Amino acid sequence: MLTLYSYPDLFGVADNNPYGLKVFAFLKLCHLAFRHEHILEAKDAPRGQLPFLVDGDQTVGDSDAIISHLITRYGLSIDDRLTPSQRDTDLLVSRMLDDLYWVMSFSRWKDSRFWPFFRDAILRSHPAIAAAALETARDYNFKRYHYQGIGRYEPAAVYARGLADLKVLANLLPESGFLFGPKPSSSDAGIYGFIANIYFYEIDTPLKDFLVSQNIVAHCRSVHAALER
């Protein structure tokens, strides 16, 4: 059976990392049977990053590579109907979500207004995780933000970047249904991975404050409901 290895759940969301949740949603939308193993240590993962998928004797890392592998290996038709233009849009949305990732991560680990809420939620939901381990992870993320660049900006400038991404997404999504019509595609799994990790969190960051008044919420709830079928 397929096994997905990714970070722990939080606030009722199956993975508190958007990339792991993206793969989780894709597997569910395609009705593929799989085991979901929540881990924190990524040293044995391809390129030292979560999520990764074990499929028989193959281990695949990177959310996009995992989805590509599954589509090819199992002949999945989820994206068959997409036009060349829609596939271009899918790539652009994916790259924009990569940008949004850094703002989301910043809001949890670096912004001192929200870090205590995130830390306490993790410790409350997962007693086996030590507070010291989270502090170590926080120090590591501070270094990542600095070298990526976002850690060199003031919070207002960081959130302005994330809000710009969300505004574009709000403009792209229809009032009902999914990004490319009445049926979900892999693009919707990717969008859900990020938006659910903002919307369902009980932490009122500027990103969530923006979301609650947008059609993005309807999309998030539509995908969430589809995962439970």
205-217 average pLDDT score: 93
CB-based contacts of 164, cutoff 8 Å, min separation 6: none
62-80 per-position pLDDT tens digit: 999 999 999 999 999 999 9
Q: What is the DSSP pairing of strand 52-55 with strand 34-38?
A: unpaired
4-27 average pLDDT score: 96
Cβ atoms of residues 78 and 29 within 8 Å: yes
Number of domains in the chain: 2
* Res. 208 pLDDT band, cuts 50 70 90: very high
35-56 per-position pLDDT tens digit: 999 998 888 788 889 999 999 9
How far is 72 from 225, CA to CA, in rounded Å? 26
Claim to verify: residue 106 and residue 195 sit in the same structural domain? yes
CATH of the domain at 166: 1.20.1050
110-131 per-position pLDDT tens digit: 999 999 999 999 999 999 999 9
CB-based contacts of 27, cutoff 8 Å, min separation 6: 2, 4, 34, 70
* Res. 175 pLDDT band, cuts 50 70 90: confident
Rounded to the nearest 5 percent, the helix, strand and coil shares of the chain are: 60, 10, 30
Burial 203-216 (b: 16+ CB within 10 A, else e): bebbbbebbeebbb
Question: Which residues constitute the domain of residue 133?
Answer: 84-227
Claim to verify: residue 117 and residue 43 sit in the same structural domain? no
pTM of the predicted structure, to 2 decimals: 0.95
pLDDT at 229 over 80: no
Claim to verify: residue 198 and residue 123 sit in the same structural domain? yes
Claim to verify: residue 208 and residue 97 sit in the same structural domain? yes
Note the pLDDT of residue 48: 85
- State whether residue 59 is helix, strand or coil: strand
Note the pLDDT of residue 3: 97
